[in-house]
Amino acid sequence: MSTSRSHSRPKGPPNKPASGAGPAGGAGRRGRGGRKLPAEFAESERLHKILAQTGIASRREIEEMIVAGRISVNGMPASVGQKVGPTDKVRVNGKLVNLQFSIRVPRVLIYHKPEGEIVSRDDPDSRVSVFDRLPKLRRGRWIAVGRLDINTSGLLLFTNDGTLANRLMHPRYQIEREYAARLLGSLDEEQIASLKEGIQLEDGPARFNSVDDGGGEGVNHWYRVTISEGRNREVRRMFESLGLTVSRLMRVRYGPVAMSPRLRRGQWEEMGVTEVCRLAGMPVPQDAVGARRRSAPKRG
């Protein structure tokens, strides 16, 4: 994986660690230690395999039971080769069977997007895409968690799990994003109050959760702002509505995930399993602790 040359980081206060975990998981079966296992993060299994693991009978015998109509799924006769998940009700001879499913841990990449890259796979102008730098997947594809416009750099998350992507992007979860913005000029107290109370944009009102002064030199002034939405160019448009130009914009945090100072522009690193499970609100599989922590190889 190639990486771009090193660039200096913007001035301003250091990244503030986020408190709390990511969005909570939904209801599901119990995992180890009595914790609830979100049903959407469990692997679907073939019926004869999952029943054989419970010790009811061998796989061959279970297939014969299916053919004989002795097994049902959600009140309907089961079929050979059918897959079931944690939310399905499986009965053998009319008796409900408690099935145990393995946890499917999503993969998550943390990417430091440079300016000049687009967050799209299809571009008629053939511009460089963030997807060009990511590692290949054997199955599925990487989903970008939110977007950054071509002139915005910083933290961008990718996952191979659509459910987790939705949890991180859906407005109802109010996931906070933090940006470092360099302005041509500075804000006065009245403007800061307006940005926090709400600015009327073309697509509706928008507001910052916080606005912190990051200092600066000459006409350039840095601010750290947080927002709980991800509308198109929202941060830039809010400043522009006050007549201020954003000369540089960088996302430094998305929810509980902050940009690592060691991650250079154009580089990615894979989040560890423990961190992914915390982000997804799911229990950590004991056989996966400490696994899957990779980074983009550096050019020699």
pLDDT at residue 289, as a whole number: 57
Q: Where are the beta strands (DSSP E) in the chain?
A: 45-46, 71-73, 76-77, 83-84, 90-92, 95-96, 108-113, 143-145, 152-159, 177-184, 199-201, 204-206, 210-215, 220-227, 245-254, 257-258, 268-270
DSSP assignment, residue 80? T
- Taking only the tens place, the pLDDT of each residue in 233-254 is 999 999 999 999 999 999 999 9
CA atoms within 13 A on the CB side of 280: 31
User: Looking at 123, 149, 188, 203, which residue is catalytic?
Assistant: 149
- Taking only the tens place, the pLDDT of each residue in 56-88 is 888 888 999 999 999 999 999 999 989 998 889
- The CA radius of gyration of the chain, in Å to the nearest whole number, is 24
pLDDT at residue 21, as a whole number: 38
Ranked by mean pLDDT, the top range of 5-14, 18-27, 220-229, 287-296 is: 220-229
Q: What is the mean pLDDT of the chain?
A: 83
Q: Is the pLDDT of residue 18 over 80?
A: no
pLDDT at residue 53, as a whole number: 79
Could you give the 3-state DSSP secondary structure of residue 181? strand
Q: Is the pLDDT of residue 259 over 60?
A: yes
- Taking the C-alpha atoms of residue 199 and residue 196, their distance in angstroms, rounded to an integer, is 8
pTM of the model: 0.71
Q: Which domains occur in the chain, in start order?
A: 44-96 (3.10.290.10), 108-288 (3.30.2350.10)
Nearest CA to 154 among 181, 132, 136?
Answer: 181
- Rounded (10°) angle between helices 273-280 and 162-169: 60
- Taking the C-alpha atoms of residue 97 and residue 29, their distance in angstroms, rounded to an integer, is 13
Q: Is the pLDDT of residue 285 over 80?
A: no
First to last CA, the chain: 11
**Which residue did the predictor score with more confidence, 281 or 32?**
281
- Taking only the tens place, the pLDDT of each residue in 152-200 is 999 999 999 888 998 899 888 889 999 999 999 999 999 999 999 999 9
* Maximal C-alpha separation, the chain: 82
pLDDT at residue 43, as a whole number: 67
- Taking the C-alpha atoms of residue 57 and residue 64, their distance in angstroms, rounded to an integer, is 10
Distance of CA 196 to the CA centre of its chain: 26
Q: Is 149 a catalytic residue?
A: yes
- Taking only the tens place, the pLDDT of each residue in 118-143 is 999 888 888 999 999 999 998 889 99
Helix H segments across the chain?
47-53, 59-67, 162-169, 189-197, 234-240, 273-280
Residues 6+ apart with CB under 8 A from 87: 28, 39
